[in-house]
Each structure stands twice: as structure tokens, then as C-alpha cells.
Amino acid sequence: MRGAGPLLSVEDLSLEFRARDGTVRVLDGVGFTVGWGETVGLVGESGSGKSITALAIMGVLPPTARVTAGRVIFKGTDLLAADERTLRRHRGSEISMTFQQARAALNPIRPVGWQIEDVIRHHTDLQPAAARSRTLDLLAGVQIPDPGRVYGAFPFELSGGMCQRVMIAMAVACSPSLLIADEPATGLDVCTQAAVLELIGDLARRSDMATLLISHDLGLLGERADRVVVMHAGHVVETAPTAALLAAPRHPYTAKLIASSPRPSVGLSDLVTIPGTIPDFRAQLPPCRFRFRCDRAAPECDQPPLPRVVVGPDHVVACRRPL
């Protein structure tokens, strides 16, 4: 049931917050696509804007946020221009999202089974008995042992890993075409992390669901994503197929990010650090927001606009002097 063109296309998205002492331009010209059934990783550190991008796609931005430019085209519809009714139809059934701290994202005073059923009842005509049965199937599908008992459990009674699985069950309940997973592995230990990500991958393959995996951990995305989008300070700096990105990154920030990540083949002295911090978004900023932390910066980097250079198959870099 795939259509022509990408499933999701974020085009030139710019977003700002009005604060007491100025306007904070958190996103500037962000653009990337997610193809049907594809797994795309969105990586960035704090301040990169990756989480707010996800919220913009879902249409659940905080009231102080203002989109100043751009479109979010999902299956041909611009979600930013859509009205609340259309968005509500999409949320949960076409596009779903899971959140970072799973236990905090679930309602603490209702059994988790009821919360999953809410989503089903909202989007389908299933009667209570059928909805309950589907919920139990979903819980089994996310590898929760003893679905009957967990159905009636409250979030505080479940471990972090179980809560994350419950959230995933809720998200895939109506077989969405796109799942946005915001830091699905935070707070989980290594074995559970791997299990949760594998679960998402299995579910995606089985129902041809596309996934947007948001994480600060490149290593995690390296094994799960088909393509990676790297963000820094509100800009997309590089997008490429995963293998190409990890083997030969072309943006200085991506290279530094990989080089500063602890990984099996390097020692402490090989670990690189990135000088400086992300710039103040309220100030007047140069076209490239990495400019003052970059050791390859040159006068041409101060020339607007931020370029988009194709350096390989499906490999785009926002840099005038790519590696």
C-alpha cells in the first residue's frame, strides 16, 4: 500500500520560542525524508533540536513555540497546515510516538492495559471485549511475559524495560505507517536496550512500518538504522546511509561526534573532544552554527546560505569544506 514519493518529508522547517529576553531560534531550515518502511536515525546532542522536530511532526508543540517556515508532508498532507481534527485522526493510527522516560510518560493511576485500550477504542470500532483481546495480543507481541497480569498492572509496578514495551505496544496498536521513537533506550541497561530496539525492528519489518529513531547515541543507531540524519544546533548537518556515515563521515561535526564516542576499538587517549559549546540561539548567528567550534572554518563559511552539497549516493552535507 505504498504511495509514490517518501512517506514523510520535512522541508525547510524553522521554529522559534519567544522567551523573556529574546527569540530562541531552535530550528533553522531542517529537512529530511523518511521512506516507506525505512528506519531513519536522527542523532544529535542536547540543543540539536531533534526532540522538538519530533514534536513538530506530531503536532504537539508547546504553546510558546512558533513555526516560522517549512512544511511537514506526510502521505501528501502538510501536517503543519492541517487542522486539529485531521491531526487527531493521524495521531496514534498513522503516526505514533514513544517517549524517553517510559514510566513517566504513562498515566500513573491507570492500569497499563486500559491505556493501550484507549488508543484502540479511539481509532477503531472494536467493542470492549475485542479491544481487550487485541490488547493482550499486543502485550504478547512486545514480548511481555504473562500479559494477563501486566494488563492490570500500574506503571510503578513495572520495570523500566517493561514500561518501554508497554509504550511500544500502545504505539503500534493501530498499525501506524510511521513510528517515532524518542530515545527509546535511555535509562535501560545494555541487554534491555538491545532487546527493545530489536523488538522495534521486528515490528517494523512485520508490518512495513517506517521508524524514526531519535537518539544521542550513534552506536545504537549504527546497528539499527538504514540512514542517519545528524543534527547540530538546529541544523541538519549531514544525512547518509548508515554504513557510509560511520565509515567515512563528511561533515566535521559528524567526524568529531564519532571520534568522541567510546567504542570498542579505541583507547582513552584516542577519544577526541569538541571545543566550545552550541551557540546562544538568541544571538545573531553565522550561517553555519558549527563555525566557531570547527577546526576547518574558513572565511567562505561566513557566506550565507548554508549549503547543501551532495557528496555521494543519498549522501548530503551542509558544509562548504566537507572532509
Partner 1 sequence: MPAPSILSVRDLSKRFPVRGTRSMVHAVDRVGFSLRAGESVGLVGESGCGKSTLVRLVTRLLDPTSGEIRFEGQEIGAIPSAHFAYRPERAKIQMVFQDPTDSLNPRFTAFDTVADPIRHLAGVSERRLLQGRVAEVADLVRLPGELLGRYPHQLSGGQQQRVGIARAIAVSPRLLILDEPTSALDVSVQAVILHLLAELRRRLGMSYLFVSHDLNVVRLITEQVLVMYAGRIVEVGPTAEVFSRPNHPYTRALLSAIPTFDPNAKRERIRLPGEPQSPVDPSPTVCRFFGRCPDGFDRCAREMPALRHLGGDRHVACHLIEGDRAEEVHGE
- Closer CB to partner 1, residue 79 or residue 221? 221
Please name the residues in contact with 20: beta carbons below 8 A apart, sequence gap of 6 or more.
Answer: none
Among 111, 187, 201, 286, binds partner 1 (CB under 8 A): 187
Q: Report how far Cα 235 is from the mean position of its chain's Cα atoms.
A: 15
Binding segment toward partner 1, per CB under 8 A, in 21-29, 85-93, 148-156, 270-278: 270-278
What's the CA gap between 93 and 45, in Å, rounded?
30
**Smallest separation, CB 236 to partner 1 (Å):** 18
Binding segment toward partner 1, per CB under 8 A, in 3-11, 70-78, 164-172, 272-280: 272-280
Quick check: 162 binds partner 1 (CB under 8 A)?
yes
> Between residue 226 and residue 255, which ones bind partner 1 under the rule CB under 8 A?
242-243, 246
> Between residue 127 and residue 146, which ones bind partner 1 under the rule CB under 8 A?
145
Quick check: 192 binds partner 1 (CB under 8 A)?
yes
Binding segment toward partner 1, per CB under 8 A, in 7-15, 63-71, 190-198, 295-303: 190-198
- Closer CB to partner 1, residue 123 or residue 224? 224
Among 98, 177, 193, 211, binds partner 1 (CB under 8 A): 193
Q: Where are the alpha helices (DSSP H) in the chain?
A: 50-58, 84-90, 102-105, 112-123, 128-141, 147-151, 160-172, 190-206, 218-224, 242-247, 252-259
Quick check: 118 binds partner 1 (CB under 8 A)?
no
Per-residue burial over 57-94, b if 16 or more Cβ lie within 10 Å, else e, is: bbbebeeebebeebbbbbbeeebbebeeeebeebbbbb
What's the CA gap between 68 and 30, in Å, rounded?
12
Quick check: 22 binds partner 1 (CB under 8 A)?
no
What's the CA gap between 121 and 131, in Å, rounded?
7
Residue whose C-alpha is closest to residue 254's, from 276, 269, 272, 281: 272
Quick check: 220 binds partner 1 (CB under 8 A)?
yes
Quick check: 205 binds partner 1 (CB under 8 A)?
no
Beta-bridged to residue 9, according to DSSP, are: 33, 73
SS3 10: strand
Binding segment toward partner 1, per CB under 8 A, in 84-92, 99-107, 168-176, 191-199: 191-199
Beta-bridged to residue 215, according to DSSP, are: 43
SS3 259: helix
Kindly list the distances between the CA atom of residue 159 and the CA atoms of 101, 165, 195, 215, in Å, as whole numbers in the listed order: 12, 10, 14, 21
- Closer CB to partner 1, residue 273 or residue 284? 273
- Closer CB to partner 1, residue 200 or residue 218? 218
Residues that bind partner 1 (CB under 8 A): 45-46, 145, 159-162, 187-195, 198, 216-220, 222-223, 242-243, 246, 256-258, 260-264, 266-268, 271-274, 277
